[in-house]
Amino acid sequence: MEQKDIKLWNRIQRGMENGFDAAMSAVYTITEKAGESIELTRLRREKARLETQTTRRLAELGNSVFEKISEQQLDDITEKLEIKDMILDIAQDEARMVDIDRRLKEEKEEKMVKERNGKDRRANADRRKGGDSEHTDSERRKTDNRRLDIERRKKDE
């Protein structure tokens, strides 16, 4: 009987060892793939950062060139680089933006004046009536509610 137990135990032990080896192999494979995935993610993130940095630098360069050409009116350079039309379009767009900003500011100021005048008119009207509009509205609501209560009582009687 002991020999049967030993054979059984040996089979169990071999099965466990094989299972352990398979598990270790799977862990190794998963770890290796995860490491590759992490490295790929890191590379993609670095590439995106460099692209953003390059775009920002190109924008700064373009802005510097545009300002220099605009200040010194370097028409010969704009013609050589074939960017004269683009420079004119940008200048027109900037002029439109300045105009829009001016109009927005005027509209905002007009709105503020209207609101101020409206408040002044209401305050003057309230002074003539002898109170402020909020107080008057509140009193009207109370009176209306009292009237409704009286009418309900009369119907109930």
Instruction: Read off the pLDDT of residues 46-77 as tens digits, 9 standing for 90 and up.
Output: 999 999 999 999 888 888 888 888 888 888 88
Residue 149 is assigned to a structural domain of this protein: no
Q: What percent of the chain has pLDDT over 90?
A: 13
- Distance, CA of 121 to CA of 113 (rounded, Å): 12
**Worst-scoring range by mean pLDDT, 38-42, 98-102, 120-124, 130-134?**
130-134
What pLDDT does 100 receive?
93
Residue 120 is assigned to a structural domain of this protein: no
- CA angle (87, 88, 93) in 5-degree steps: 100
Which residue has 């200048």 as its token pair? Answer: 91
Contact 69, 77 (CB under 8 A): yes
The pTM of the whole model exceeds 0.95: no
Residue 92 is assigned to a structural domain of this protein: no
* Domain enclosing residue 4, as ranges: 1-72
Counting the structural domains of the chain, the total is 1
Contact 125, 133 (CB under 8 A): yes
